[in-house]
C-alpha cells in the first residue's frame, strides 16, 4: 500500500537522522555535507528539468479556451479566460499562480436519484491555497537564519505571522496552518474514493514529508527547545560557505534539517516540479491568436497530398455531368 510505504519511508528518514546524530555524532555530515549536497542537487536538478522542457518545441498553438474568443471589436470577449494578447496571458498566469484560478472552478459530479448533478466544491482550492501560502511564509521567515542582519521585511512578516500573541515564544500561524492543511490534503486523498484510487506513493510521500518538516519545526520551537544561538551560527556559516557545525544543538534540529534536505533532493525528480512546470504549460501561457497570426510547426514536414489534379482525374466525368467546371477537358 502506497500510504504505508510512504509513511515508513519518512519514519526511516527520521530514524536515520536521529541515530546519525544521537548515536554516531555525525554533526558535520548531517549539518554541512548533506545540506550542501542537497542544495546543489536541487539547483542543478531543477535547472536541468526546466532546460529539458524548454528544449522541446511547442508545435501546437492551442491554449485552453475557457471563454469567448476575440473576434470582432464589438463582441465582448473573455480577456483572461481566452486571452488574445500577451497582457491577457500575463493576467491569466498571475491568477493561476497566485490564486489557483482553474482550481476555483472545481465542481463535484454526483448522482441524485438517477440524475447526474453538479455541485460547487471549493475545499481543495481553499486547502491548496492555505497549504502553499503558509509554505511560502514559512520559507520567507526562514531567511532570517541565513541573513545577518535580518532584513526589516522579514521581521514584519514574523510579527504579522505571530499576531495572535499567544504562547512563549509567540505562536506563528503559518507553521500550524501548513501542518493542518497538509493533514487535510492527506485526509482528502484517502477519503475521496476517486482521489484515493489514483494516488501513488509519490503523492503520499511529499505530504508526509512536509507534515514531518512542519511538525518537527513546531516541536523544536515550542516543546523540545534547541539552542537557537548555535543554530544560527550553523546556518550563517552555511550561507557564508564556511560551514562549521557546533555541537550541542539538539537532535530534533538535525531531524528537521535532514527532512528538508530530503525534500530538496526529491523535488526536481518528482511531481513537485509543478512549480516550474506551471509557467511553461503551453495550454496556459500562449495567447489564443491562431486566427490572427499564422503559426508554423517548427519542423513542418513534407507530406504526401491528394492534389486537385488527381482529384479531377478521379472524378472528371462525374464533375462534367454535374456541370462543375473542370480545368482539363
Residues 165-194 interacting with ligand HEM (rule: CB under 6 A): 185, 189
* Dihedral sign for Cα atoms in the order 224, 229, 233, 236: positive
Is the CB of 97 or the CB of 143 nearer to ligand HEM?
97
Residue 109 has φ and ψ, to the nearest 5°, of: -95, 130
Taking CB under 8 A as the criterion, the residue among 242, 322, 328, 329 binding other proteins is 322
Residues touching other proteins: how many (CB under 8 A)? 73
The full length of the chain comes to 329
Number of H helices, E strands in the chain: 15, 2
DSSP conformation class of 224: S
User: Residue 118 pairs with which residues in a beta bridge?
Assistant: 109
- Residue 146 CB, shortest distance to other proteins, in Å, is 29
Check residue 294 for interaction with other proteins (CB under 8 A).
Answer: no
Residue 56 CB-half CA count within 13 A? 10
Taking CB under 6 A as the criterion, the residue among 31, 35, 83, 128 binding ligand HEM is 128
Query: Would you give the binding string for ligand HEM spanning residues 196-225, x where CB under 6 A is met?
Result: -------x--xx------------------
Taking CB under 6 A as the criterion, the residue among 49, 61, 79, 132 binding ligand HEM is 132
Taking CB under 8 A as the criterion, the residue among 31, 35, 128, 212 binding other proteins is 128
Residue 56, binding choice from ligand HEM, other proteins, none, Cβ under 5 to 8 Å by partner class: other proteins
Check residue 307 for interaction with other proteins (CB under 8 A).
Answer: yes
Cell triple for residue 293? Answer: 497570426
Query: Alpha-carbon distance 49 to 183, whole Å?
Result: 29
- By C-alpha distance, which of 149, 273, 135 is closest to 210? 135
DSSP 3-state of 208: helix
Taking CB under 6 A as the criterion, the residue among 79, 278, 281, 312 binding ligand HEM is 278
Residues touching ligand HEM: how many (CB under 6 A)? 17
Is the CB of 132 or the CB of 144 nearer to ligand HEM?
132
Amino acid at each position: 500500500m502506497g500510504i504505508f510505504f510512504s509513511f515508513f519511508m519518512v519514519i526511516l528518514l527520521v530514524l536515520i537522522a536521529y541515530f546519525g546524530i544521537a548515536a554516531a555524532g555525525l554533526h558535520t555530515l548531517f549539518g554541512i555535507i548533506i545540506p550542501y549536497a542537497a542544495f546543489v542537487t536541487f539547483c542543478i536538478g531543477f535547472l536541468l528539468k526546466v532546460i529539458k522542457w524548454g528544449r522541446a518545441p511547442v508545435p501546437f498553438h492551442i491554449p485552453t479556451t475557457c471563454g469567448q474568443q476575440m473576434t470582432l471589436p464589438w463582441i465582448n470577449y473573455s480577456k483572461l479566460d481566452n486571452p488574445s494578447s500577451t497582457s491577457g496571458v500575463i493576467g491569466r498566469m498571475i491568477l493561476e499562480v497566485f490564486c489557483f484560478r482553474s482550481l476555483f472552478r472545481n465542481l463535484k459530479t454526483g448522482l441524485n436519484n438517477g440524475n447526474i448533478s453538479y455541485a460547487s466544491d471549493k475545499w481543495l482550492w481553499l486547502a491548496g491555497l492555505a497549504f502553499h501560502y503558509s509554505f511560502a511564509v514559512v520559507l520567507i521567515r526562514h531567511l532570517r537564519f541565513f541573513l545577518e542582519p535580518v532584513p526589516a521585511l522579514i521581521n514584519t512578516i514574523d510579527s504579522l505571522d505571530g499576531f495572535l500573541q499567544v504562547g512563549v515564544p509567540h505562536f506563528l500561524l503559518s507553521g500550524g496552518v501548513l501542518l493542518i492543511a497538509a493533514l487535510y490534503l492527506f485526509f482528502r486523498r484517502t477519503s475521496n474514493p476517486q482521489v484515493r484510487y489514483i494516488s501513488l506513493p509519490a503523492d503520499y510521500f511529499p505530504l508526509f514529508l512536509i507534515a514531518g518538516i512542519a511538525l518537527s519545526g513546531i516541536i523544536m520551537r515550542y516543546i523540545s527547545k534547541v539552542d537557537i544561538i548555535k543554530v544560527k551560527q550553523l546556518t550563517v556559516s552555511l550561507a557564508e560557505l564556511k560551514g562549521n557545525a557546533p555541537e550541542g544543538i539538539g537532535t530534533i534540529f538535525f531531524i528537521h534539517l535532514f527532512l528538508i534536505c530530503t525534500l530538496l533532493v526529491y523535488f526536481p525528480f518528482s511531481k513537485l516540479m509543478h512549480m516550474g512546470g506551471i509557467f511553461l504549460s503551453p495550454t496556459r501561457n500562449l495567447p489564443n491568436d491562431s486566427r490572427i497570426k499564422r503559426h508554423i510547426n517548427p519542423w513542418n514536414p513534407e507530406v504526401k497530398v491528394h492534389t486537385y489534379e488527381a482529384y479531377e482525374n478521379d472524378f472528371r466525368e462525374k464533375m462534367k455531368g454535374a456541370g462543375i467546371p473542370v480545368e482539363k477537358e
